[in-house]
Amino acid sequence: MKKYLFLSTALILGALTFSSCSSDDDSNGTPSEEAYKNRTYGTEAIDACDQTVTALGRANEAIATAKLSDEQEAALRQVLTNLVNHVIVPTYTDLADDVEDLEKTLNGLTVSTITQAQIDKACADFKAARQHWERSEAFLGGAASDFSIDPTIDSWPLDRAELLDYFKGGMTAEIEDESTILGFHALEFILFRNGQNRKVSELQGNDTYKNFESVSGADELKYAQQVCRLLKERCFQLQVAWEGEKNASRVAVVKAAGLGYRTVNGLSYGENLVKAGIADSKSTFPSLKEAIAQVLSDDEGSCVAISNEVGTAKIANPFTNGDIAYVESPYSYNSITDFQDNIRSIRNVWLGSLDGSAAQGSFHSFFAGVGMSNVNDEMEGAFNSAINKIGAMPSPFVKYCSVIWNKNFDDPTNWESTSEE
Amino acid sequence: MNKLSRLTIVTMLAAPLLSACSDEDSATVEDLGKLTPDEHVFGQATGNFSAEEWFPGGELGTTEKASYSSPAPALASISGMEEDFNVGEDFFEHLYTIDQAPRKGLGPAWVRSSCFHCHPSYGHGKRQTEYRANTVGNGYLLVIYHPQEAFTSDGVRYTTEASGYISEVTGMPQTQAMQPFKAPIDENQIQIQWKNVEAMPSGLPMTFPDGEQYALIYPEVTIPTSAFNTSPKPSDYEVRLESTIGIYGTGLLDAITDEDIEKQWASEARFVDMNPNMWDKAAGTFKASAYYSAAYNNTGSFHGDHGPLKRFTYAMTRGSLQDGAGSNAVWNITNVTRSDRHFLYTTPAWAKAMSEDPEVISYIKSHGSSPLSPLYPYYADGTDEGIKTRVNEILSCSSVAKKSTFDKYLFEGAPYNGKDEMSDKQYYQFMVWHRGLAVPAARNLNDPQVQRGKQLFSEIGCAQCHRPSWTTGSDNMWVDAATKAYADANGLAKDGDYTKLLPKYPNQTIWPYTDMVQHRLFMENDIRTGWCRTTPLWGRGLSRRLTGADDRLHDCRARTVTEAIMWHGYSKQSQGYRAAEKFYKLPKEDRHALVKFVESI
């Protein structure tokens, strides 16, 4: 593992710090009970996200306020091209592949003959797909935003009351657009409980979850198959929207589902980004700099936006404000990994690769090329620190927040918010 | 949001490099030369634009980001307000659920399950070909009313001020309901058909003199009587669509004084007809009905004998942002109870239909006995007759006059146990967010084409209604009871000044491009009554980029700025006809310049 030594600016970290560029290990052993009571970990994780926001803002400002030479402009256009070809499209393709695998796995299940190995395979497929989704959240701007895909496939909390109604109503309601009971977190509820894969006995009988005792595993499986099909269509939509009509069978699925995949001006989202500011290109970006701002630092759909969301909402809402219901991925205990993967999506955008190494034609190589390695040091220090600080929080996150606030996630009478006080 | 001064950036650009220890740089780095600072045009006077026109929301209400979701600089002056803004934003950005705080609500019927369903990416609604409450981007409200028709001199049918809403469903009709209730309207039966304009009654051709063509489309919406789950069912009605517009900048519009708006109406009343429901032509003043009041709060005595001027929504139905469209929507769209609204957004006709529906009764009978169930309040004594009576009693709590029934049967008992779904603090935080949303800065004002566009916008008369600029007053707004209760409970306004708890925009020169007056364009299938407040144009040029769409006008019928302008010329009687006719006659490059101006402000 390559180690970066970086000297941060006094403004940011104020210290000589070592950090790993691609720390993929989420596990910090089994935390002591005392660790769950320690607020320092959460506070430091939130601060590290904020520092990532600051670093991204500086990087964007450096470009936004510069008079770019032709060579610099060409280099930045190459950054966008590589970003589309080597980060965005591959991430969405991997996501689509993995959700397709999950669908095959789920569709191959029959309750009467189901084995634990089959359930475990579905859970593994889920986590693989989940990782790609979380690693795409730095580039929600574009297709995911224009087609409102995020709320369709990643909204939480799962509305358990509505889901219960759906089962009680004989599963006859149309769920195509019922965002509150669709997507990853609906599948997560069927596949995982308390951080464990569901058990054969549960799926062969009835659920044991509070209020769901009358719901059969067979119905849950049928529901999961439907949810996964809809999820797959949306993931195909993302891939097709960014790469254009290259994968005919997936284009056909998207079209059959009645989903859009071009910009309002008729381009693919990849073209729309790389052609930013080119006259008569039909790009919705009037200038290259505005496209760079969308990628790095715009309020919505950018690297800044996801870093902000992880710090000020995904972590802070449950951790700082006590909204325990806000914990993302509470059934699979995947929250901390999700948050880290969100920050890794920023890393991938910055380095122009999926493996933590800096590619030629990346923001990293651009800033090195203009002699501003300080920007790289600050940026890379910030996201590495965020990944590490998030990973340092005691896992599972739902337990950490529950202990801090002395509230039980699963108890409906505790689904309350201290922000009310 | 993190702000960085330009000074810091200049320093960064000029600073000697900090020693970077990344290892690969020396071997593989392509030398791109140093970054040099660009010419600084933003915020400088340029051509026919003043320096302040870069800041449409004034100093306190403009973000320099290309964004519809940024907090305004006004927030920065008050410690802790950005945090409240962030929490408030969350009520906008996430889905509501039936029983999971803090975004809890929805029952018994609802219009949408989140704010962003209608305000995609914080912007304008997107044109739809079918009405689906769960489609994100469908910003349409159904407008269902008894038409009183009239015709323009060139034969365009329109409906008059007497065209009142039907009473069987709510003014913003719901197409979603909690099981076992049936939505007041079955949305599967709603038809939206888009029709083409073949020729305009005004005689303006559909091809510009230089040969460039444009096309106009408009929706025709039908809902059969069978779609209504009410008793009685409505008759003699027609349907229109009204789309959301962006949310940013509404705090600034609220800060314009009633007196300044009255002056604008008076100056226009000399030349054009004004909405008789708002304007007293003989007296040259607003009528009493132009001022807002509500039965459930004290807005009506805000100015002693009258309330704040109605200024929000196309129909200018609400005044004071604190009881404006957003304040109302977070209660009735997602159906969330809060302390100042202890009643339901329902109608007696729906209550009656539900109470007489055997499926509803039997479902409640078999699923409503648990105190944890959201159906428990309707369960009563568990008999068919008891459930029927209770369903009717609760669902017909459609005004504050029914508060005691609402409290007794729904609010005080299980599972709500006297707890509002949105607390006073949460409502306060939501309003900090709402009032605190900044207007995005103008763009490209140094572009000669945009400067030419500005000149034409004024010359051909667009600016008469799309009034460029206003100066706000002292912004001592009406403050709602929920915010006051939160402040009192926490000792935040001991001096009695509650306005300081909210973002304020005093004495700002702003550039919304609206006269805050209602006009009639007499378009085919026009808005109910024809009267529509001039929509602000600020920030709209970012819509394609920020929301993926740029549909315009009240029902999203215009797909481009040009189409929106040409709709102003549909009838010769349109109050925008002269401007549209002049636009039609402009050379192509001037039309494009005007459009580019509209997209830059």
Q: Render pLDDT for B543-571 as a digit per residue (tens, 0 to 9).
A: 999 999 999 999 999 999 999 999 999 99
Find the mean pLDDT for residues B56-72. Answer: 96
Question: Contact, A383 vs A358, CB < 8 A?
Answer: no
Alpha-helical segments (H) within A244-302: 248-256, 269-274, 288-296
Q: Render pLDDT for A242-251 as a digit per residue (tens, 0 to 9).
A: 999 999 999 9
Binary contact (A58, B33; C-beta < 8 A): no
Between CA B52 and CA B58, with CA B53 as vertex, the angle to 5 degrees is 60
Question: Contact, B118 vs B112, CB < 8 A?
Answer: yes
Three-class DSSP category at A377: helix
CA-to-CA distance for B510 and B214, rounded, in angstroms? Answer: 33
Instruction: With beta carbons under 8 A apart, name residues in chain A contacting B547.
Output: 145-146
State which residue of chain B sits closest to A210, comparing Cα positions.
B372
> How confident is the prediction for chain A on average, in pLDDT?
88
Confidence of residue B458 (pLDDT cuts 50, 70, 90): very high
Question: Contact, A417 vs B102, CB < 8 A?
Answer: yes
Q: Render pLDDT for B120-153 as a digit per residue (tens, 0 to 9).
A: 999 999 999 999 999 999 999 999 999 999 999 9
Which residues are within 8 A (CB) of B162 and not within 5 positions of it... i.e. 6 or more apart? B148
**Residue A420 pLDDT > 90:** no
CA-to-CA distance for A393 and A402, rounded, in angstroms? Answer: 13
Q: What is the value of ipTM here, to two decimals?
A: 0.85
Chain B residues 401-440 within an 8 A CB cutoff of chain A: 423, 425-426, 429
Binary contact (A369, B31; C-beta < 8 A): yes
Best to test chain B binding among A6, A65, A302, A415 (most B CBs inside 10 Å): A65
Confidence of residue A22 (pLDDT cuts 50, 70, 90): very low
Question: Contact, B586 vs B595, CB < 8 A?
Answer: no
CA-to-CA distance for B204 and B576, rounded, in angstroms? Answer: 13
Bridge partner residues of B222 (DSSP) = B191
Q: How many CB atoms lie within 10 A of CB B600?
A: 20
Which residues are within 8 A (CB) of B234 and not within 5 positions of it... i.e. 6 or more apart? B144, B166, B167, B168, B169, B225, B228
CA-to-CA distance for A159 and B578, rounded, in angstroms? Answer: 53
The b/e string for B401-429 (b: 16+ C-beta within 10 A; e otherwise) is ebeebbbebbbeeebbeeebbbbbbbbbb
Question: Contact, B112 vs B133, CB < 8 A?
Answer: yes
Which residues are within 8 A (CB) of B11 and not within 5 positions of it... i.e. 6 or more apart? none
Least Cα distance to B549 among A264, A286, A262 occurs for A264
Cβ burial, residue B220 (10 Å; 0-12/13-18/19+):
middle
| Tokens, residue A188 | 């997560």
Which residues are within 8 A (CB) of B381 and not within 5 positions of it... i.e. 6 or more apart? none
In Å, how far are B36, B201, B215, B216, B389 from B198, measured between CA atoms?
55, 10, 8, 8, 54
CA-to-CA distance for B593 and A209, rounded, in angstroms? Answer: 63
Confidence of residue A28 (pLDDT cuts 50, 70, 90): low
Lowest pLDDT segment from A39-43, B13-17, B177-181, B224-228: B13-17
Residues in chain B: 601
Instruction: With beta carbons under 8 A apart, name residues in chain A contacting B175.
Output: none
The b/e string for B456-470 (b: 16+ C-beta within 10 A; e otherwise) is bbeebbbbbbbbbeb
- In the chain, the amino acid numbered B461 is G
> How confident is the prediction for chain B on average, in pLDDT?
93
Look at residue B39 in the predicted model and tell me its pLDDT. Answer: 86
Look at residue B14 in the predicted model and tell me its pLDDT. Answer: 45
**Residue B24 pLDDT > 50:** no
Look at residue A410 in the predicted model and tell me its pLDDT. Answer: 62
Look at residue B105 in the predicted model and tell me its pLDDT. Answer: 81
Tokens 């049936």 correspond to B182
Q: Render pLDDT for A299-344 as a digit per residue (tens, 0 to 9).
A: 999 999 999 999 999 999 899 988 888 888 888 899 999 999 999 9
Binary contact (B101, A417; C-beta < 8 A): yes
Three-class DSSP category at B500: helix
Look at residue B193 in the predicted model and tell me its pLDDT. Answer: 98
Which residues are within 8 A (CB) of B498 and not within 5 positions of it... i.e. 6 or more apart? B479, B483, B484, B487
Q: Render pLDDT for A384-397 as a digit per residue (tens, 0 to 9).
A: 999 999 999 999 99
Instruction: With beta carbons under 8 A apart, name residues in chain A contacting B138.
Output: none
- In the chain, the amino acid numbered A190 is I
Find the mean pLDDT for residues B69-95. Answer: 90
Instruction: With beta carbons under 8 A apart, name residues in chain A contacting B491.
Output: none
**Residue A407 pLDDT > 60:** yes
State which residue of chain A sits closest to B545, comparing Cα positions.
A284
Q: What are phi and psi of B150, to 5 degrees?
A: -150, 170
Q: Render pLDDT for A87-142 as a digit per residue (tens, 0 to 9).
A: 999 999 999 999 999 999 999 999 889 999 999 999 999 999 999 999 999 999 99
Binary contact (B20, A57; C-beta < 8 A): no
**Residue A363 pLDDT > 50:** yes
Residues in chain A: 421
Look at residue A6 in the predicted model and tell me its pLDDT. Answer: 34
**Residue A20 pLDDT > 60:** no
Best to test chain A binding among B134, B187, B365 (most A CBs inside 10 Å): B134
Percent of chain A residues topping a pLDDT of 70: 90
Find the mean pLDDT for residues B221-248. Answer: 97
Higher per-residue confidence, A18 vs B600: B600
Q: Render pLDDT for A58-80 as a digit per residue (tens, 0 to 9).
A: 999 999 999 999 999 999 999 99
